[in-house]
Amino acid sequence: MIIGILKEQQFNRVSIVPSSAKKLKALKLEIITESGAGLQSGFGDHLYDENEIKAVSRDTVLTTSDIVVSIAPISDEEMQKLKKGALYISMFAPYQDPEVVSKLQKYPINVVSMDMIPRTTLAQSMDILSSMASLAGYKAVLKAADHYNNMFPMMMTAAGTIPPTKVMVLGAGVAGLQAIATAKRLGAVVEAFDTRAAAKEEVMSLGASFVEVEGAADDRGAGGYAVQQSEEYLAKQRALVQERALKSNIIIATAQVRGRKAPLLVTEETINHMKPGSVIVDLAASTGGNCAYTENAKTIVKNGITIVGNSDLSDELSGVASTLFSNNIINFLQILVKEGNIELNEENEIIKSALISKAN
Ligand code: NAD
């Protein structure tokens, strides 16, 4: 059975790195890669070759592989080239667009969407969303530091004392917690907001303070995700965010509610009153952003405030992001492939959740 790696058209990452070859071979899979697939993440064809992964054309990967892997979904035209009964593994985010699944059903292939892996302890090693979010949280702080015209730590010099930078993190999930840890390491004073009760302890354990807004909707039973808050709650939260934002220098915005538009937490009014020179990095940009002025995949300046809208910051750490992505895929394949054969055992909760379309 052949597994084929595609070169990403819009990302620098690659879905499977050369060092994963050993584990794939242990599953009795033969591996091919599209030539140049890993180049942008530091894995040239020669590294794949050293691991007995042959570089071939894109068309060969599409038409001869039994399992095809890519990070971003391929086009409809390319979907038609996949072998009948093949397994295609990618990230379709069906919770953002419910029509994705019905569109896939017209193809005679099995489709796994890695972003549908449940957030359970057992599935943690396959959780691509967490891997990418923690890298994005780290990179968001570096990005903010780069755009910022001051430094993060307090410094006492003969020429005067420099106060520490104040960082506010909106949403203390996977990305937010990593942003808090990174900002703390750089010497900033950090505070964070989240609606989930569980987040408070995690924030405080990283040495940041937690800003509480009373009256959050109960999120028990939401699988670790946040739930939609009432307009009354959000209005109260926006007012508190504004109060804190005027004292902050950096905002790292990561607040999301799965399957919905990101909550608006930093209003136009807030930005119009913030200190010029402040920086906002909005990781929720692709789902509308937490900040009123955010433009997805763009960096803009409003009222002297730099606003970076980017939900794919892990792609700027393409080497490590590819390695983690690859590890997640291999861990998933280990429950899916037995002795070189794909077993779509839907009694397994992880496989059942991730398999979003089946070959007829
Ligand atoms: P996410 O990207 O969907 O959301 C980011 C954060 O925004 C979340 O912490 C959420 O509570 C918060 N948020 C939503 N609305 C908000 C608002 N109005 N104000 C402030 N914050 C708001 O979530 P995520 O980071 O992918 O995951 C969230 C949580 O899920 C994790 O912290 C963890 O507890 C759990 N999780 C569990 C596993 C596992 O067990 N395998 C894996 C990953 C995540």
Q: Ligand 1: which residue has its CA nearest to atom 37?
A: 119
pLDDT digits (tens, 9 = 90+) for 235-281: 999 999 999 999 999 999 999 999 999 999 999 999 999 999 999 99
Residue 264 φ then ψ, to 5° = -80, 115
Q: Say if strands 189-193 and 250-253 run parallel, antiparallel, or are unpaired.
A: unpaired
Which residue among 120, 124, 138, 174 is best mutated to probe the pocket of ligand 1, counting the most ligand atoms within 8 A of its Cβ?
174
Contacts of residue 88, Cβ cutoff 8 Å, sequence gap at least 6 = 67, 68, 69, 74, 79, 82, 109, 110, 111, 112
* pLDDT confidence tier of residue 199, bands split at 50, 70 and 90: very high
CA distance 187 to 204: 16
pLDDT at position 151: 96
Output DSSP code: residue 37.
T
Whole-number mean pLDDT of the chain?
96
pLDDT at residue 352 tops 90: yes
Distance 349 CA to ligand 1 centre (A): 21
pLDDT at residue 360 tops 80: no
pLDDT at residue 310 tops 80: yes
Which residue among 122, 134, 196 is best mutated to probe the pocket of ligand 1, counting the most ligand atoms within 8 A of its Cβ?
196
Single out the residue of 132, 229, 258, 140 nearest to residue 188, CA to CA.
140
pLDDT at residue 328 tops 90: yes
Distance 173 CA to ligand 1 centre (A): 4
Residues framing ligand 1 (Cβ under 6 A): 119-121, 123-124, 127, 129-130, 133, 170-176, 193-196, 198-199, 224-226, 229, 237, 254-258, 263
Contact predicate 310/283, CB 8 Å: yes
* pLDDT confidence tier of residue 315, bands split at 50, 70 and 90: very high
- If you average pLDDT over residues 184-189, what whole number do you get? 98
C-alpha distances in Å from residue 305, one per residue of 11, 136, 205, 239, 244: 28, 21, 30, 19, 16
pTM given for the model = 0.96
pLDDT digits (tens, 9 = 90+) for 5-61: 999 999 999 999 999 999 999 999 999 999 999 999 999 999 999 999 999 999 999
pLDDT at position 149: 96
Single out the residue of 283, 271, 344 nearest to residue 311, CA to CA.
283
Single out the residue of 63, 115, 107 nearest to residue 89, CA to CA.
115
Q: Ligand 1: which residue has its CA nearest to atom 23?
A: 173
C-alpha distances in Å from residue 126, one per residue of 225, 298, 303: 17, 30, 42
* pLDDT confidence tier of residue 206, bands split at 50, 70 and 90: very high
Q: Ligand 1: which residue has its CA nearest to atom 24?
A: 173
Percent of the chain residues topping a pLDDT of 70:
100
* Catalytic residue numbers, as ranges: 119, 124, 127, 130, 225
Contacts of residue 339, Cβ cutoff 8 Å, sequence gap at least 6 = 28
* pLDDT confidence tier of residue 113, bands split at 50, 70 and 90: very high
pLDDT at position 98: 83
Which residue among 214, 256, 257, 290 is best mutated to probe the pocket of ligand 1, counting the most ligand atoms within 8 A of its Cβ?
256
* Burial of 138 from C-beta contacts in 10 A (0-12 / 13-18 / 19+): buried
pLDDT at position 221: 75
Q: Say if strands 160-162 and 155-157 run parallel, antiparallel, or are unpaired.
A: antiparallel
* Range in 149-163, 178-192, 215-229 the model is least confident about: 215-229
pLDDT at residue 222 tops 80: no
- If you average pLDDT over residues 53-82, what whole number do you get? 98
pLDDT digits (tens, 9 = 90+) for 143-180: 999 999 999 999 999 999 999 999 999 999 999 999 99
pLDDT at position 277: 97
Looking at ligand 1, which atom is closest to the CA of residue 229? Answer: 18
Distance 226 CA to ligand 1 centre (A): 6
